[in-house]
Amino acid sequence: MKKRNGVVLFVTLMMILLLMSVVSVFLNKTKESKDKVTTIFAMNQTNAIMHNLLSYISEVELDEYAIFFASQTAIPLNFGESNVFFRLESAQKLINLNGLIRASMKDNLVSDTFVLLLLRYKIQEPGFFLNLLKDTVDEDTENRDSTASEIILEYPTFRNTKIYNEIHLSQIVDYYFKETGDMSIYEVPFDTLFTFTDSSIDLNFISLELMEILFDDINQYTLRTIDEYDDIYEDIEDMPFDAYYRKKIQKGMLGQSFTTKTQILNIEITLLYLSQFESKIHFKYNIKSKKIFDYEIDEVLIK
């Protein structure tokens, strides 16, 4: 009898454990469903709020002075049930990589400038990496300089004629590493050096490091004067370049054109909705046309 009771107790315990596991799975699935619903709600709410906020931004007049002061700190804004913090900065303060590569295909001095830049970061085969970039921008189907650098021959889906964005550039970087084993290529801060948008460089916002690359034959005093200037220059004519260099800059150099008027902004927004979620969004904004592009929700954090 005791043996039978023991078996019954064992079976009962097994049934309870099985039931508990089923309940546990059910509760986990319910939580997952709830989280998904909350995330979907947060995404929809973020887009709805951003739609209204973008209408507000389009009514604000943003000139060079406004960009200069607004880029110094995050700007708080109470927007209905949301707290919004947005940062804006000129999107025209980096080197146009496509313009630089196209110029290097015509002028060896531009190629030398790019190679010297890569050598700053101890790249072992800068010429090979430059050839990869040239072959990507070029429309040819032959290997450049008899170097096996035509990625499109190995990857038929690889896009040619220009470098489109950071993801596209990362494919070229990965290919370079695969062929050379040179880990130093991943130390190059491409995101703080280059843009892929065809726009002029605003000399009011360019960094000292990039000025040293672009204007390597100008004395350091002039470049530091521009970098430390605590106001904006209305025109290139107002900048402390001599007549010879002002003419070069106005004509364009190293595949770049220059301005003192920003037209395209990078805008980053942090959106806090009640105590429910936090969203981070970024996009580009054309001041003249009042249109946005490259809009992306980077993350949504459920509270």
Q: Which residues on adjacent β-strands are paired with residue 77?
A: 84
Beta strands 258-259; 201-202: pairing state:
parallel
pTM: 0.79
Is residue 157 domain-shared with residue 234, that is, in the same domain? no
- Exposure string over 177-210, b if 16+ CB within 10 A, otherwise e: eebeebeebeebeeeebbbbeebbbbbbbbeeeb
Is residue 179 domain-shared with residue 111, that is, in the same domain? yes
Number of domain units in the chain: 3
Q: Confirm whether 24 is domain-assigned.
A: no
pLDDT in tens, 222-252: 999 999 998 999 999 999 999 988 999 999 9
Exposed, middle or buried: residue 252 (CB in 10 Å: 0-12, 13-18, 19+)? middle
Is residue 100 domain-shared with residue 189, that is, in the same domain? yes
Query: How many angstroms separate the Cα of 235 from the Cα of each of 3, 72, 247, 256, 259?
Result: 98, 21, 13, 17, 8
Is residue 220 domain-shared with residue 244, that is, in the same domain? yes
Is residue 87 domain-shared with residue 99, that is, in the same domain? no
Helix (H) or strand (E) run with residue 31 in it: helix 2-58
pLDDT at 146: 43
The SS3 call for residue 275 is: coil
Q: Confirm whether 121 is domain-assigned.
A: yes
Q: Domain containing 248: what range?
A: 205-252
pLDDT at 2: 43
pLDDT at 3: 46
Is residue 122 domain-shared with residue 67, that is, in the same domain? no
Is residue 185 domain-shared with residue 225, that is, in the same domain? no
User: Is the CB of residue 14 less than 8 Å from the CB of residue 45?
Assistant: no
Query: What crossing angle do the helices spanning 108-120 and 126-137 adopt, rounded to 10°?
Result: 130
Residue 158's closest CA among 137, 128, 180, 179? Answer: 137
Is residue 221 domain-shared with residue 168, that is, in the same domain? no
pLDDT at 60: 82
CATH of the domain at 48: 3.30.1300
Is residue 173 domain-shared with residue 140, that is, in the same domain? yes
Low-confidence stretches of the chain (pLDDT < 50) are: 1-4, 26, 144, 146-148
Q: Confirm whether 13 is domain-assigned.
A: no
pLDDT at 198: 86
pLDDT at 16: 58
Q: Confirm whether 18 is domain-assigned.
A: no
pLDDT at 200: 95
pLDDT in tens, 10-47: 555 555 555 555 555 545 555 555 555 588 888 888 88
The SS3 call for residue 75 is: strand
Q: Confirm whether 83 is domain-assigned.
A: yes
User: Is the CB of residue 133 less than 8 Å from the CB of residue 99?
Assistant: no
Q: Confirm whether 10 is domain-assigned.
A: no
Q: Which residues are within 8 A (CB) of 33 and not within 5 positions of it... i.e. 6 or more apart?
A: none
Q: Confirm whether 114 is domain-assigned.
A: yes
pLDDT at 34: 54
Q: Which residue bears the tokens 């936090």?
A: 278
pLDDT at 38: 80
pLDDT at 52: 83
Q: Confirm whether 258 is domain-assigned.
A: no
Residue 250's closest CA among 200, 207, 193? Answer: 200
Query: How many angstroms separate the Cα of 24 from the Cα of each of 18, 31, 38, 149?
Result: 10, 11, 21, 55
Is residue 40 domain-shared with residue 70, that is, in the same domain? yes
Is residue 157 domain-shared with residue 210, that is, in the same domain? no
Query: What are the structure tokens assigned to 138, written together?
Result: 């070029």
